[in-house]
Amino acid sequence: MRKVAAILILAIIGAVIFMLLHQPEDDEATGAVSEFYSYEQEANFSGSWEMFHPLMKEKFDKIEYLQERSHVIMDHFGVETFSFTLGEATAIEDWTIEGEAEVNGKVYQVPVTQVFEGKYGNFSIVQNTYVTKVEGEWKILWDYNR
């Protein structure tokens, strides 16, 4: 009887460890978006740029992104940082960044609300952020469809 109880306890412990180590993919996607906006929040625009999908890196030269992002958020908005909240990740079928530029693999949409307190008052920006895996790493995309 003790052997059966010991085996059952070990099986339960093993199942809990497995569940803790293997997050559902939508949770991983949300985690990646959170990491991206945490970099942005800390003004670590180099870190956030590195998380961009290759199609996004074609849109923004790294140096240009570092300068412009800092200039827009810090200077124009008159803020030092911002807070953000994330909605639930939703899998999107056949998503394109713009026109015919289709992204390979499963894409998740995560709504992001950034809240700024600046010299022009308090305001929020709501933007859907998209994330997909490229060579095993989560990469960030924005929507440019009209």
- 105: domain CATH number? 3.10.450.100
Q: Which two tokens stand for residue 120?
A: 């022009």
Q: Do 65 and 47 meet the contact criterion of CB atoms below 8 Å apart?
A: no
Looking at per-residue pLDDT, the higher value among 78 and 9 belongs to 78
Task: Decide if 10 is inside a domain.
Answer: yes
Q: Please enumerate in sequence order all residues whose Cβ is within 8 A of that of 113, keeping only pairs 6 or more positions apart, or say none.
A: 84, 85, 87, 124, 125, 126
What is the spatial distance between Cα 124 and Cα 64, in angstroms, rounded to a whole number? Answer: 24
Task: Decide if 134 is inside a domain.
Answer: yes
Query: pLDDT digits over 51-92, tens only?
Result: 999 999 999 999 999 999 888 877 888 888 899 999 999 999
Task: Decide if 47 is inside a domain.
Answer: yes
**β-strand partners of 86:** 112
Query: pLDDT digits over 22-34, tens only?
Result: 569 999 999 999 9
DSSP secondary structure letter of residue 104: P
Total of domains in the chain: 1
Task: Decide if 79 is inside a domain.
Answer: yes
Instruction: Note down the domain range covering 124.
Output: 2-141
Task: Decide if 146 is inside a domain.
Answer: no
Q: What is the mean pLDDT of residues 38-59?
A: 95
Task: Decide if 56 is inside a domain.
Answer: yes
